[in-house]
Amino acid sequence: MKPLEIAKGIYWVGSIDWNIRDFHGYSTHDGTTYNAFLIMDEKITLIDTVKKEFADELIRNISQIVDPQKIDYVVSNHTEMDHSGGLARVMHRIGEDKPLYCSKMGAKNLAKHFPQKWNYQPVENGGELSLGKRTLTFLETRMVHWPDSMFSYLKEDKILFSSDGFGQHYAGLERFDDEIGDKIMIDAKKYFANILMLYSPLILKLVNKVTEMGLEIDMICPDHGIMWRKDPSKIINAYAEWSEQKPKRKALVIYDTMWHSTEMMAEAIVDSLGQEGVDAKPMHLRRCHRSDIITEVLDAGAILVGSPTLNNQIFPTIADFLTYMKGLKPKNKVAAAFGSYGWSGEAVKVIKNELEEMDFDIIDPGIRMQYVPDEKCIAACYELGKKVAEALPKVL
């Protein structure tokens, strides 16, 4: 993809990764982009690089605008290798002695990834760097998404280079929010749920800080996906809402099944929830990817998890999902477990313990059924649906 002038003298020079489908366990159905930006000022400045495999493309893009050796400054907003993997190739091409601006933690973390003794210039929160006619201000944004993360704000152009923040794993010909419309919010929500949900309290503070500082923002340029220029407040407000994790009248029935018994229970619970006016859906763990389920978990008020007992354990996909969900620390959920078994039947207890450890409100001891659900079991599933519906907010 050729470079694109996104504002006068400021270029997108990154790469589009059309074919990536698994981003360290996150399903990227739509691919992704690694955005990098070139600011043409008295001091020519590169903000972020790309994944290592795309470094040559980045250099080709820069070369269409300026000789890479004329770059004066490099800014690394985030150490993770989808944005810094290309640094070795880029620094070698533009000059190993060029100043490399990053947070203090960024300097430490980059040094743990690269043996080169680069000219690190750690910056403070609020620190400024004059590029000539323009000024960059650095904002520490720890844990959005690593301890080294920071944003860079270009004062005169009112552009926020936000690294992972406000990003989306989306590869497309559209480059801006006004070109793609609201459908990008699905990808933005998925990104938030899977990458940032556990840092919700920090993000809420960050959004409040940015609001209090009165930063004027005409454009937000994240390192993944489209750039927000039509209405940057839309994604900022969405982050504030998602960070609060207010539960909706929505329930997820997440399960796996061996001979359809646990599935029969799941379907009965969903049917009951639907009859009670709850937005409910069954999510089979070998049909739905864990990262798509987590997107739904973000604003669900109830999580019901069902598993058969396999060799005295929960089914492996359930273990995978519970581990993933636990790490992301979702909040404000009621929960319960259910499942069929043959002879020992430990799964429901194991799931219940896991859900308790996640601080979910366990509203039922759980439903266990030996072999195939009978009428009594199905009736219990309908009762569980009613109980969950009563515990949820009254509005969808």
Indicate which single residue of 41, 48, 82, 140 sits in contact with ligand FEO (rule: CB under 6 A).
82
Dihedral pair phi/psi, residue 124, rounded to 5°:
-90, 160
82 classed as catalytic = yes
Q: Per-residue x/- mask for ligand FEO, residues 40 to 79, rule CB under 6 A? A: --------------------------------------x-
Residue 145 binds ligand FEO (CB under 6 A) = yes
Of 191, 199, 239, 255, the active-site residue reads 191
The alpha carbon dihedral of 268, 339, 333, 235 has a sign of: negative
> How would DSSP label each residue in 109-156?
HHHHH--S--EEEEE-TT-EEE-SS-EEEEEE-TTSSSTT-EEEEETT
145 classed as catalytic = yes
Instruction: Report the nearest approach of ligand FEO to the CB of residue 113 (Å).
Output: 13
What totals of helices (H) and strands (E) does the chain contain, helices first? 13, 24
> How would DSSP label each residue in 182-195?
GGHHHHHHHHIIII
164 classed as catalytic = yes
| Residues 305/353, Cβ–Cβ less than 8 Å | no
DSSP 43: S
382 classed as catalytic = no
What residues are paired with 347 via a beta bridge? none
Q: Per-residue x/- mask for ligand FEO, residues 190 to 229, rule CB under 6 A? A: ---------------------------------xx-----
241 classed as catalytic = no
Q: Per-residue x/- mask for ligand FEO, residues 288 to 317, rule CB under 6 A? A: ------------------------------
289 classed as catalytic = no
Instruction: Report the nearest approach of ligand FEO to the CB of residue 90 (Å).
Output: 17
Residue 164 binds ligand FEO (CB under 6 A) = yes
Q: Which of these ranges, 39-47, 59-67, 80-88, 181-189, lies near ligand FEO under the rule CB under 6 A? A: 80-88
Instruction: Report the nearest approach of ligand FEO to the CB of residue 200 (Å).
Output: 16
191 classed as catalytic = yes
Touching ligand FEO, residues 219-278 (CB under 6 A): 223-224
Of 80, 157, 223, 263, the active-site residue reads 80
Nearest residue to 167 (alpha-carbon basis) of 111, 215, 226:
226
Residue-level length of the chain? 396
Instruction: Report the nearest approach of ligand FEO to the CB of residue 249 (Å).
Output: 33
222 contact partners, CB below 8 Å, separation of at least 6: 35, 162, 163, 164, 165, 166, 167, 168, 228
Q: Which residues bind ligand FEO (CB under 6 A)?
A: 78, 80, 82-83, 145-146, 164, 223-224
